[in-house]
Amino acid sequence: MTYMPADDERGGGIQVIARASSILNALGETPGGMSLGQIAKAVDLPRSTVQRIVNALAHADLVRADRPNGVMLGPTLLRLVAKVHTDVVAMVDSHLAELTKHLNETVALARGSGRELAMVHVLVAERDLRVVPRVGTTVPLHSTAGGKALLALESDRHVTELMGRTFERLTLRTVHSRSALLRELGSIRSAGVAYDEDETEVGIASVAMAVDTILGKYAVSVVLPTARLPAQRERIVASLQRCKDAMNSEIGKL
């Protein structure tokens, strides 16, 4: 005889899954770790309920509850996330390679990690004067074209909560106030493209577009010496748009 759970039992199971999902999402937004009280406030649940769900998630290694900084995402979940990144790279590598070949400039695929932009995949241009970012390195969201492109996908309220009011000024051209960043993000939303001209490092520029896919939000950036940007700007933007469209077709647009 097949066991069929009652409606209230099924409903309870769905509620637990929804609550666990909310907790995991909150932890994903705070990679430095959260206390049980902070989680409870973020997901609007009693602390005792959060404690029970966190214990269950920890048992499955989906979170780590024994960290000095509080509860963090666990190794099982991080392995799944890493596999998704690997799959995305495999799916879009040919489109990124075509972009690199067409422009003869370095192309980087990145995604957000807290207040940082993490390099997931880099294709380096075959020319003497080139920019070579390394996979795994992180740079601030507020100073990079890729970071600003990703921030422009979010609401101003979310950006403010994530980034705070003031930011590190890496060069004289770095955006270093909330109001200036929000103004620039408004322009990026209208234009669909973001720029970094000597904002992260003097002499280096990047042009980026965000790709919001069913497997996550990514930024595709063309990275080059600042001196080469003026003559190539329009060509880079058009080529990035074609690459973005191809990636959306390959992965699936959210």
Indicate the domain borders of the chain. 15-83, 88-251
Reported confidence tier of residue 11, pLDDT bands at 50, 70, 90: low
Tokens of 239: 């080529």
Handedness of CA 142, 146, 149, 155 (dihedral sign): negative
d(CA 209, CA 222) in angstroms, rounded, equals 9
Q: What is the pLDDT of residues 33-64, one digit of tens each?
A: 899 999 999 999 999 999 999 999 999 989 98
User: pTM above 0.75?
Assistant: no
* CATH classification (class only), 88-251: alpha beta
d(CA 193, CA 239) in angstroms, rounded, equals 12
Please give the pLDDT value at position 168: 86
Q: Which residues pair with 249 in a beta bridge?
A: none
Please give the pLDDT value at position 21: 92
Please give the pLDDT value at position 1: 45
Residue 3 pLDDT exceeds 60:
no
Q: Which CATH architecture has domain 15-83?
A: Orthogonal Bundle (1.10)
Please give the pLDDT value at position 4: 46
First to last CA, the chain: 41
Residue 225 pLDDT exceeds 60:
yes
Give the mean pLDDT of 214-243.
Answer: 95
- Sorted by sequence, the CB contacts under 8 Å of residue 34 that are 6+ apart come out as 26, 27, 42, 70, 71, 72
Whole-angstrom CA distances from 159 to 78, 117, 221 are 24, 14, 20
What's the whole-number average pLDDT of the chain? Answer: 88
Find the helix or strand (DSSP H, E) in which 207 lies: strand 204-213
